[in-house]
Amino acid sequence: MTPELSFTVVGVAPEPYSVAPTLLARLRVEEAGGEAVHALALRAQIRIEPQRRRYDDTEEQALLDLFGDRTRFAQTLRPFAWLHASTVAQGFTGSTEFDLPIPCTYDFEVSGTTYLHALRDGEIPLLFLFSGTVFSRGRTGFSVTQVPWDAEARYRMPVAVWRDLMETNFPGTEWLRMHRDTVDALAHYRHVRGLTSWDDAVTTLLAQASAGERS
């Protein structure tokens, strides 16, 4: 018989001891057919479903690059892939719970990072799409089957979980990726002006640009 698996996301929390930003999704897997599962090699694509929450005016402004203004939300708020994760679960009968490590990035070139950074509070609607391989005992020995193509689970992760994760790994800072030539030019500007930090260099340039707009 083919194992009958269903998945539930019990919770998502930051991994406190990881070197890089990592979330731990606590998964509950149930096998309804009475089959013993010897091992489960699981993969998950995690998608964000932006159409499943509301946005205040501040969030709308921060999301302009992704979705345009509010008048376009009906056309632009569409699910998009965020991250991929995988793990191997030990054997079980009936049901089990285990953690799925989700490595995260703070690269603002990634749409998911831009989206999450724009949110102030509330929840993030996530959709987990599962795939993988199930190892069980068949009538003539071990059986290898695939996780059903329609295996999925939704979870509304508090925005505070994401903010706690990034504050733990990058306290009080943000990360932007720039071309090497841009960094070299900014470093030269900083040196010539005698500025003590990258923040000083950027804020000085912004002040000059703002003054130029007012004149």
CA 174/CA 92 separation, integer angstroms: 42
Cβ proximity of 113 and 106 under 8 Å: yes
| Residue 31 predicted with pLDDT over 80 | yes
In this prediction, residues 94-107 reach a mean pLDDT of 92
| Residue 173 predicted with pLDDT over 80 | no
**Per-residue pLDDT, 35:** 82
In this prediction, residues 115-141 reach a mean pLDDT of 90
Q: How far is CA 89 from CA 71, 98, 100, 154, 159, in A?
A: 45, 7, 9, 20, 28
**Per-residue pLDDT, 198:** 81
CA 27/CA 44 separation, integer angstroms: 11
**Per-residue pLDDT, 189:** 87
Q: How far is CA 72 from CA 68, 88, 203, in A?
A: 6, 41, 33
The better pLDDT of the pair 12, 16 is held by 12
**Per-residue pLDDT, 96:** 96
Contacts of 203 (CB under 8 A, 6+ apart): none
**CA 54 to chain centroid:** 19
> At how many degrees (to 10) do helices 180-193 and 198-214 cross?
90
What is the model's pTM? 0.82
Determine the length of the chain: 215
The better pLDDT of the pair 108, 149 is held by 149
Domain ranges of the chain: 5-169, 180-214
Q: What dotted CATH number matches 5-169?
A: 2.60.40
| Banded model confidence at residue 208, pLDDT cuts 50, 70, 90 | confident
Q: What is the pLDDT of residues 46-59, one digit of tens each?
A: 999 999 999 999 99
Q: What is the pLDDT of residues 136-166, one digit of tens each?
A: 876 667 788 999 889 999 999 999 999 999 8
Rounded to 10 degrees, the C-alpha dihedral 211/212/213/215 comes to 90
Residue-averaged pLDDT of the chain: 90
CA 80/CA 96 separation, integer angstroms: 29
